[in-house]
Amino acid sequence: MSACWLLGIAYGIFSMRWEFPVLWVKFTPWRLFVIVSSLPCLLGGLAMLWFPESPRFLASRGRHDEALEVLGRIWSYASKRPPSEYPVRKYSPPFIRLRLPPLVVCLSSSSRVAVMSAKTTSANAASANP
């Protein structure tokens, strides 16, 4: 749909035949088309200056209070209630990441797959080589 809209604007602008000087540039229809086409991107870029960082990004950087504040504003907008009524007051990490040893996959000649930890593999290799 937007391609049709842009095509209509292009046809409307390029079918015009005029030019007038502005400072050192001759202002012609194709320059008007470039300006009109770039306005949505320019407005979107300017609007992003007012967007908050995502709560997930803030929490991953340890900025938990700011993440809760942003979540409160989002909740307030969605529920049509003031941010002071946001039910969550304190952030606690949802889980602890486990550090598991890397796994090694061994293919045997009988086409069976054996999965073992890297520690087991290195211990077996050390005992096999006296």
Confidence of residue 27 (pLDDT cuts 50, 70, 90): confident
Q: Give mean pLDDT, residues 40-46.
A: 91
Per the CB < 8 A criterion, the answer to whether 78 and 92 are in contact is: no
The mean pLDDT of 30-54, rounded to a whole number, is: 86
Whole-angstrom distance, CA of residue 82 vs CA of residue 77? 8
pLDDT at 110: 55
The domain ranges of the chain are 2-49, 53-85, 101-130
C-beta of residue 86 within 8 angstroms of C-beta of residue 75: yes
Judge contact between 14 and 20, C-beta under 8 A.
no
For the entire predicted model, the pTM comes to 0.44
pLDDT at residue number 82: 87
From the centroid of its chain, how far is CA 115?
35
Please compute the mean of the pLDDT values over residues 62-67 and round it to a whole number.
Answer: 88
